[in-house]
Copies of this chain bind each other. A is one copy, B any other.
Amino acid sequence: MSHHTWNYQDALRAQGYRVTPQREVLMDLVCAARHRPTAQELLAAARARGATLDAATVYRNLKFLTERGLLRAVEQGGVARYELAGPRAGHHHLICRGCGREVEVAGEEAEALFEALAARTGFRVTSDHLVLEGLCPSCAEDARS
């Protein structure tokens, strides 16, 4: 399956690593997921899809793929969740603690904010994926009752 816009397979092979079915199923699942899956969710999903793989393999590969820059790990609620890193721009998420809805913010939008921080503290933020909590417009509305 090579429906990915980016061919990570060759990138790996070029570095002497192998493209195993386990790695492919993980990449496919992370790619197809609507929300960021955890290692456990990926294991279950992979098996549901008929793949044969062990939890240890999932953990080893998520770490491997993250180190190679193909995936990105985000801590959320104590567990690690994964998403495609790929060759695209960083971005951030706003999670509404009212309805759980998630809004994405382009990296550039946030850059301006980080600029301001850098100017004031000299500290350059490199996080390319923040998860901010707050209230979305509609829940903010409800909160007034």
Contacts and interface: CB of A to CB of B under 8 A. Distances in A.
Interface residues of A, number: 34
A117 B94 contact: yes
Interface in A67-113: 75-80, 94, 96-97, 103, 105, 109-110, 112-113
Dominant SS among interface residues on chain A:
mixed
Nearest to A101: B123
A116 B115 CA distance: 13
Query: What is the copy number of this chain in the assembly?
Result: 2
Contacts of A135: 123-124, 126
Nearest to A121: B103
A117 B113 contact: yes
Nearest to A136: B123
